[in-house]
Structure 1
């Protein structure tokens, strides 16, 4: 991505984004909202299974134990 700088003589020259002094890391980070972390902290913690129930679980349940409450009761 290129930005164009206008010189005093009227000519414009391309400047790579990483060399543009107006775009620094602090400015870019201030543009991003903190919605990801605010939504993560607002959710309730996941209930983990009882260790006695783990022996009866399948491989997928061992990898993602937080999904056990979503399984139907048969």
Structure 2
């Protein structure tokens, strides 16, 4: 069966996010003062052929650990749908 797997990769919360800071400055210049924080990440969609949802999630986790996310600077979250 083919599963659609969403991988969200974000900077670690304790690290500075330079892209987020730049966007924050732009939003402030636009007068959007109510927005208090911006974090920029990546959203990756994978189509995974697997026997079951757990296998699809495991394959996506392997891809995220080995290629999609840098564990020194980023964390990832995975969700699976059919």
TM-score, reference length from structure 1: 0.20
Higher helix share: 1
Of the two structures, which has the highest relative contact order with CA contacts closer than 8 Å and spacing of 6 or more?
Answer: 2
TM-score, length-scaled by structure 2: 0.18
Question: Which protein has the larger Cα radius of gyration, Structure 1 or Structure 2?
Answer: 1
The structure with the greater share of residues assigned to strand is 2
